[in-house]
Structure 1
Amino acid sequence: MTFEASARPERTVALVSWTLSKNRVNKANPKTPAAKWNRDMLRWLGEAVKKDPEVDIASLLSKNYSDKLKLLKAEPSRAKGATRSFPPDDVRSRFDVTAAVSTVFEPSTELQLFLQNDKSLSETLIDLLDESEVLYKSVWAASVMVFRVKETFAVKVLANEDNASTEHQSLTYLREHLPGFPVPQPHGLLRFGIYSLLFTSFVPGINLETAWGQLSDSEKQSISAQLNALLSQMRSLPFPDGMTVGGVGGLPCRDIRRSTRVSRKPIINDQEFQDWVFSGAKTVSPVYTRLLRSLLPTLPVKCVFTHGDIRPANILVQKADDGSWTIAAIIDWETCGFYPEYWESVKATNILTPREESDWYNYLPDLASPNRYPVQWLVDRLWDRNMENS
C-alpha cells in the first residue's frame, strides 16, 4: 500500500508519535521530598529576587543543593542494610551501607566501645539508627533529625557539616571552661555519606516549647530567672586575647536568618562586626545605611560568649516531684561563639513576627531582652528586611 501525495505521510507519522508520547506521559508526583525541597527553594529564591531583581541566583544556591536533590530523588531501596522501611522524609531511608564513613572529631571512649562489633561501621550506624527513638524532625524533608540511641546517647543527623562542626566545638569549649554547665556532653562527629552525625549524651527532659503552655506566671518567671543566670555564667567566660569575633577556635561569624551568612575574613571587634552586618544588603543606598548606623551607640561594646538562638525549642526542662520546673539543658549550639553583647537579644527574637501569639517574648531573660539593648535591636529589625539572607 502507498500513500497518496495529499496524505502527507510525515504529518501522519508526527501525529501518531505525538499521540503515543502523550499517552505515555508520566505525571510527576508533587508530594515527594525532592518536589517539596524544590518548592521550598523556589519560594525562597522568589523572595530573594523580589528584594533584588538583579541578584545572582546561582550564588544563592547551597553548594550541597544538587547532592541533596539527588539524595531525595533516590528510591528508598538504595538505603541498603536497613532492617526496617521508613518514609521518604525520614533521613534513615537515605542511608546507604556502601557510603563512606569518616571521622571529623574522634569518638569518645564510651562511643567507641559502643560502636565496636563484627560489622562494618556503616552497618553498625544503620542498625543503631533503625532501632532508635526519634526526638526531633525538622519540617524540611530529611534535613535535620535527632535520635535517642539506646539509653546513653543522642545523635543529631544533618546535612550541614559546618553547623555540626561548630556545635561540637562549642560543646567541647563549654565542658572545658564551664564544668557543670547544663549542656549535652559531646561524644564525637562522624561523616556518613553527605550527612554529619553529631553524637552527644542524652539529656532527659522535654523542650520548653512543649511545656510552656502548662506553666503558671510564677513558673514562667522562674524559668526566665534560671535562664538569665545561665547566660550570666556564659558571659563570665573571658574573650580570649587574640581571638576573633565568631565561633570558638577562630571559626568565622555566622548570621542565621532565613539562610546562613558567613564572614569571609577575620573580624576583631564590634565596629568590624557592624561593617560586616551592614554589608549584607545589596539594594540599600549608602544614605540609608549611614542613617541607620548613626543611630547606634558609639560607646565600646564587649564581646561575650553567646548562644545565638535562645528560644523554647532549644531549652530542655524537667518537672521535679514538688512540681517545680528546672532547666535541664540548653541545646543547639551551632550558632554560638563570642559576639557583641547585644547579639543575644537580636537573635532571641529571630523568628518573632507581628502575628506572634506566644507570651514567651514577654518573659525573655534580661540578658537576652530587647529592653536591654533597644537601639541595636530596633536597628537590626529595620535592617533585617534588606538582608540578602533574610
Structure 2
Amino acid sequence: MLATVLQLYLWFRRCFGGKRRRGRIVDLPFGLLLKVASPEGVPESDVIGFVNRHTSIPTPNVVASVGGYGRRFFVMKRVHGRTLESVLHTLDPAQRAKIAQQLHSFVSQLRSIKSPHGSSICALNGEALIDSRITTCGPVGPFVDETAFNDRLLQTSAPFKSKSDLAELRSRMRATHAIVFTHGDIAPRNIMVEGDTVVALLDWQQAGWHAEHWEFIKAKWCPPDLHSAAELWDSMVEQLFDKDYTPEWLLDRDLSDDIVGGY
C-alpha cells in the first residue's frame, strides 16, 4: 500500500512539477524526504539500523522503507544543515580539523565491529554488495577473501591493460588487510554539517565488509567538483585513518585511471 502511494506521489510530481533534490531525492510533506533506489542489495534502512545499534554515528532518521514497482522507497526525516561539499571552502583550518576528528571517530567505530563473515568481502548480510568503484552494473560478489576481490579488480582493468601491466599490478597487491565494516562512500556530498559539527552521515547503500584500505580509496574516489574544495578534502581524508594507505591508493589509481565506459 505505501509503495503504491509513493509511486502515485512521484507520478503526480512528474506531471505537475516540484522541487527535486540531489539524485533521486524528492521532498515530501511534514519535513520528510523520499529517496528512490534500486531494489538490489541490502536495503539502506537495514544498514542504518545496524549502524545505529553498534555506533553513535549520526544517521538519517528512517521513517519507512518499502519495495515495489521495481524500486525501493526510503522515507526519512529531513536532516537540518548543509553538505560539507557546499561549505568546505568557507571553513577555517580549526573547523576542518574538528570535522575530520569527528569523521575519524566514525571510521574507528565502524572498524570496531567484528565481521560475522570471516575473511569474506561482502554486503552487511554476507551477500553481493553494491560498489561503484568495482562495477556500475549492479551487485557484485561476495568474495571469499581479499585475493578473490583483487582478482575482480584486475578483471575490470584487463581490457585496458597489457599482460605485463596486469602482472606488475598483481605483484603490488596485498591480501593481508583486515576486513572491517566500511561506509564505502564517505564524501563531502554525504556529510551534513552545522558549523563544524557533523549532524549526519548519509548514503549507506555501498556499505559492507571490505579490506581496511577501501574506505580510504573510496573517500578519494569522488572529490568535490570545486578544485579548491577538492584539495582541502584530500588533506582531510589523511586525518580519518590511523594508518597510511597511500600505496594502496596509488595502486588503485594505476588500476582504474584508464577505465572508460560501463564496467
TM superposition score category, shorter chain reference: 0.7 to 0.9
Q: Answer yes or no: is 1:366 the counterpart of 2:239.
A: yes
1:50-89 correspondence to structure 2 within 5 Å: none
1:174 Cα deviation after fit: 1.0
**What residue is the counterpart of 2:22 in the other structure?**
137
1:342 Cα deviation after fit: 0.4
Q: Answer yes or no: is 1:226 the counterpart of 2:111.
A: no
1:277 Cα deviation after fit: 1.3
1:124 Cα deviation after fit: 7.2
1:170 Cα deviation after fit: 1.3
1:176 Cα deviation after fit: 2.6
State the alpha-carbon separation in 1 of the partners of residues 119 and 135 from structure 2: 26
Q: Which runs of 5+ in 1 are unaligned?
A: 1-100, 104-119, 139-143, 320-324
1:221 Cα deviation after fit: 1.1
Aligned to 1:147, which of 27, 43, 46?
Answer: 27
State the alpha-carbon separation in 1 of the partners of residues 74 and 168 from structure 2: 43
1:171-208 deviation digits (Å, cap 9, x = unpaired)? 12112322x32011333323454443211233221111
Residue type matched to 2:212 in 1? E
Cα pair 1:132 1:147 within 8 Å, conserved: no
1:83-102 deviation digits (Å, cap 9, x = unpaired)? xxxxxxxxxxxxxxxxxx67
**What residue is the counterpart of 1:385 in the other structure?**
257
1:57-92 deviation digits (Å, cap 9, x = unpaired)? xxxxxxxxxxxxxxxxxxxxxxxxxxxxxxxxxxxx
State the alpha-carbon separation in 1 of the partners of residues 247 and 207 from structure 2: 22
Structure of greater relative contact order (alpha carbons < 8 Å, 6+ residues apart):
2
Cα pair 1:366 1:372 within 8 Å, conserved: no
Q: Secondary structure at the match of 1:187?
A: strand
**What residue is the counterpart of 2:40 in the other structure?**
162
The CA RMSD over aligned residues, in Å, is: 3.4
The two structures have a TM-score, normalised by structure 1, of 0.58
State the alpha-carbon separation in 2 of the partners of residues 176 and 256 from structure 1: 26
**What residue is the counterpart of 1:329 in the other structure?**
200
Cα pair 1:166 1:335 within 8 Å, conserved: no
1:182–1:135 Cα change, 3 Å: farther
Residue type matched to 2:246 in 1? P
1:251–1:147 Cα change, 3 Å: farther
State the alpha-carbon separation in 2 of the partners of residues 303 and 314 from structure 1: 23
1:385 Cα deviation after fit: 2.6
1:351–1:242 Cα change, 3 Å: closer
State the alpha-carbon separation in 1 of the partners of residues 155 and 2 from structure 2: 37
The two structures have a TM-score, normalised by structure 2, of 0.82
State the alpha-carbon separation in 1 of the partners of residues 20 and 104 from structure 2: 26
Cα pair 2:122 2:128 within 8 Å, conserved: yes
Residue type matched to 1:206 in 2? R
Residue type matched to 2:202 in 1? I
1:88-127 deviation digits (Å, cap 9, x = unpaired)? xxxxxxxxxxxxx676xxxxxxxxxxxxxxxx73587459
**What residue is the counterpart of 1:185 in the other structure?**
61
**What residue is the counterpart of 1:121 in the other structure?**
5
**What residue is the counterpart of 1:280 in the other structure?**
156
Q: Answer yes or no: is 1:204 the counterpart of 2:80.
A: yes
Residue type matched to 1:150 in 2? F
Percent identity, aligned pairs only? 23
Cα pair 1:188 1:200 within 8 Å, conserved: yes
Q: Answer yes or no: is 1:315 the counterpart of 2:191.
A: yes
State the alpha-carbon separation in 2 of the partners of residues 254 and 274 from structure 1: 16
Cα pair 2:103 2:240 within 8 Å, conserved: no
1:246-257 correspondence to structure 2 within 5 Å: 246-257=122-133
State the alpha-carbon separation in 1 of the partners of residues 81 and 62 from structure 2: 18
How many equivalent pairs are there? Answer: 258
1:230–1:125 Cα change, 3 Å: same
Cα pair 1:187 1:199 within 8 Å, conserved: yes
- Tell me which structure has the larger Cα radius of gyration: 1
